[in-house]
Chain A
Amino acid sequence: MATNMLQSKMRLCSTTGLPVCLSAQRFIKLNAVAGVVSLLVGATAAILLALTRWETIGLLDPIDYYKVITLHGLNMLVFWILFMEMAILHFAATSLLNSRNFSSALSWAQFVMMLAGFGIVNYSVLMDRATVMMTSYVPLKAEQEFYLGLIIFAVGALLGCVNFLGTLYIARRDKTYKGAIPLVTFGALAATIIAIWTLVHGAIVLIPTWFWSLGLLENAPDGAWYRMIWWGFGHASQQINVCAMVAVWYFLATMTTGARPLSQTVCRTAFLLYILFINLASAHHLLVDPGVSASWKMWNTSYALYLAVLASMIHGFTVPASVEVAQRKRGIGGLFGWLTRAPWKDPGFAAFFLSLVIFGFGGGITGVTLGTHQINIIAHNTLRIPGHFHVTVAGGTSLAFMGLAYYVIPLIFQKEIPMRVLARIQPYIFAIGICIMAIGMTLAGSLGVPRRHPDIDFTGAKVAVDLGDAAPFLAMVGIGGTIAAIGALIFCVLAAWAVFLGKTNKGPMTSWQSPEQTRLTKQLITTAWNPNDKGMKPKGTVVLTFIFLASFAVYYFANWKALVDVWPVK
């Protein structure tokens, strides 16, 4: 097939056979390193927070806690994830399309601006100039450089999206591939479209806020308006993560088991549903807000959210089903043989599959339930909310990205991961920690423990409040959070060690799986076979998805039951 890459500016991957554009490779590396640095900052902050909310330790005083939680939110939810997504965009548009990178200048501008934004915002927060939480709800005011840093970062990300679209354009123009783009690239394209939409919201809300912080505008933007537009940015951006994460699931499912989607149509339609219907789901942050009516709240959470939920439920089936079918193709039988004999020692597979399960069972079920208009009354701003998004963004997206790194480092950096036993157990440490913490948060939140609170003492308050019953659950938050943060730090150390001190691999990467497994996986990837052939039906996945649906229904209706017991309100 024709490529538009000059021979001197590309190489062929000796493991996968995929072409690698050397310019794109540089930016994959730069963005991934910046991402891991952000993760390092965020995970360090996480340990401090976990040890503060653990009542028996209570590490930080309130002011420091507020500062560190602002730092944690921004580095984890914005910097780590968006840098990794920029790395993914550079990969998905070049290697998978057999194309060169569109523009080095644009890529440089993307990286330098995002790095500058990262630096400015972190400086501002660390110097106590912006203790306003990630959301920076007006009229809380940070120093002006905080907003400027975020705007610079967002513009950088926007340039990354433009470069991605540019690469798609030249690949099509130069006919470097035939037919439709691969599914992983399609997922990345969905993420990019949502990203552009999202970053525009960010600009609409942050630019006037920046002017106000500069003193150019006398009054702060209206608080209710700010919330509505900010969440068009803040929640929709999480949908970029979901798209990128699902694309990574498909990628890792293929790389680790040779899986292929049962139906391209179904997978692509599900991505399309994300693009069309997710932004309105941002409304579920406003479910107990003044000024938006009950019908507005219901409309925006039901019709739109649930078609996006449908999309996630579809991916939640098609991804494990594709793995199951690939396993059956290898001759593994039984209802769950495909799972018990899965490559659990491959950190790419372990991270991907744990991410899938944690995101689905944890994040999906809690997200839909908390985002139900009336149920939100007994959830809004309690610890149940971080209990939800730590199993989506951390246990889901971050874990998937870690799994991706176990392939990106040997394939793109061409460096071997050291301490391979540690690498194999790292996804489990992180996953277990996140689950303990999220369950603790959810239980504490059900008792009314608020998020963004350093403790439950209320020392110094005029009216004393007793939330002591929640102490054991907050201990879970502390212990789980510490375990998860240690898991993340192990990942950072392994990644940094590999990239800066690791052994260079000249030939193919050292496989995470046995030679026999590796050979079979490669065979499944490179030969033609139909996943819909007889005798390979994904029976086990059907059972799993029904267990999922039953869990979903139990949790959902239990919450309605809990709502019955509170005071009538309208």
Chain B
Amino acid sequence: MSIHHPPRKWLEAPHGFERLWIGIALLWCLVLSAAMPYWHFKGKQTSSGEAYTVEPGKFDARVARFVEAHKVGERSGLPVVEPPPGTDAYLIGKAWQWYPILKLKKGVEYRLHVSSFDYQHGFSLLPMNMNFHVVPGYDHVITLTPTEKGEFNIICNEFCGAGHHIMTGLIIVEE
């Protein structure tokens, strides 16, 4: 009885359908537990959380140097930056803009350093819907390989103040 105290000897092993279900549920939980390590070794998508502490001002300066070294154009008032294929790229979230616009090569792996100048931001790459968290003070290294050409928007999906909803950015992928 749920609302009265149980019979004197209530400690007993489950039996019948109840035992069957517990067994099946436990097996399913083991499948769930095995799936993540399996994907870690066999799959191509994971979040390693690679990060280095960095002062927001210093990261900002690093981004400025990166822009200066590899700027190839301008668009919507933002620099378009093309790092040498397979190298490090930098992106900073500043209330309320992802800066700069990146130009990458299809099929090449980049180490994308993402950090924030001010608040926490959410790096959300569309339309693939790939999402990573960005925290000021941490240089979050996301190692990714664009597999299709085109223009891919970045939006911010962590609340970062009054202009959160207009915080966008762009990654251009070319052959």
Contact = CB atoms under 8 A, between A and B. Distances in A.
A66 B1 contact: no
A179 B10 CA distance: 10
Q: Which interface residue of A178, A368, A451, A452 has the most chain B CB atoms within 10 A?
A: A452
Contacts of A553: 28
A552 B27 CA distance: 13
A265 B33 contact: no
A566 B129 contact: yes
A446 B146 CA distance: 20
A254 B3 CA distance: 8
Given A251-B2, A378-B131, A463-B76, A298 B37 contact: yes
Interface string B139-175: 1101111110000010111111110111111100000
B: interface residue count bin? 35 or more
A568 B140 CA distance: 16
B124 A381 contact: yes
B144 A290 contact: no
A462 B97 contact: yes
Contacts of B165: 62, 453-455, 458
A463 B39 CA distance: 35
Interface string A513-548: 000000000000100000010000111011001000
Interface stretch (A30-38, A146-154, A369-377): A369-377
Contact of B143 (A446, A467, A570): A570
Interface stretch (B47-55, B63-71, B82-90): B47-55
Interface stretch (A115-123, A210-218, A255-263, A329-337): A255-263
Contacts of A502: none
B72 interface: no
A448 B126 contact: yes
B43 A463 contact: no
A180 B6 contact: yes
B5 A140 contact: no
A265 B10 contact: yes
Interface stretch (A104-112, A160-168, A307-315): A307-315
A482 B33 CA distance: 38
Given A184-B2, A532-B15, A542-B21, A566 B45 contact: yes
A133 B21 CA distance: 40
A12 interface: no
With a 10 A CB-CB cut-off, give which of A18, A133, A368, A566 has the most chain B CB atoms.
A566
Nearest to B141: A290
B24 interface: yes
A538 B134 CA distance: 49
Contacts of A318: 18
Contact of A465 (B17, B18, B126): B126
Contact of B18 (A260, A307, A321, A467): A321
Nearest to B123: A288
B130 A260 contact: no
B5 A182 contact: yes
B77 A377 contact: no
A168 to B, nearest CB: 13
Contacts of A564: 43-45
B164 A446 contact: no
A302 B28 contact: no
Given A374-B39, A569-B143, A306 B32 contact: yes
Contacts of A446: 129
A309 B134 CA distance: 29
A372 B36 CA distance: 7
Contacts of B50: 290
A261 B5 CA distance: 12
B40 A314 contact: no
Given A265-B12, A467-B126, A321 B1 contact: no
A287 B47 contact: yes
Contact of B45 (A381, A465, A563): A563
A182 B22 contact: no
A569 B46 CA distance: 6
B167 to A, nearest CB: 7
A10 interface: no
Contacts, number: 317
B42 to A, nearest CB: 11
A289 interface: yes
A224 B28 CA distance: 32
A265 B2 contact: no
Contacts of A182: 1-6
B43 A569 contact: no
A133 B159 contact: yes
Contacts of A465: 126, 153, 155, 168
Contacts of A563: 43, 45
A266 interface: yes
A524 to B, nearest CB: 10
Interface string A15-45: 0001000000000000000000000000000
Interface in A546-570: 549, 552-553, 556, 560, 563-570
B73 interface: no
A292 interface: yes
Contact of B46 (A254, A542, A570): A570
B164 A463 contact: no
Contacts of B109: 568
Given A259-B2, A448-B129, A560-B39, A289 B49 contact: yes
A542 B17 contact: yes
16 contacts: A18-B3, A132-B159, A223-B135, A251-B2, A260-B1, A306-B33, A372-B35, A377-B45, A382-B129, A382-B131, A458-B155, A458-B166, A461-B167, A467-B126, A569-B145, A570-B45
Interface of A: 18, 62-63, 66, 96, 132-133, 137-140, 177-184, 222-224, 227, 250-251, 253-255, 259-266, 286-294, 296-298, 301-303, 306-307, 309-310, 313-314, 317-318, 321, 368, 372-374, 376-382, 446-448, 450-455, 458-465, 467, 525, 532, 537-539, 541-542, 545, 549, 552-553, 556, 560, 563-570
Given A139-B136, A290-B50, 12 more contacts: A263-B15, A266-B22, A291-B135, A309-B29, A380-B122, A381-B124, A450-B122, A463-B169, A537-B16, A563-B43, A567-B144, A570-B144
6 tightest A-B CB contacts, nearest first = A290-B51, A450-B157, A290-B140, A568-B44, A448-B129, A264-B10
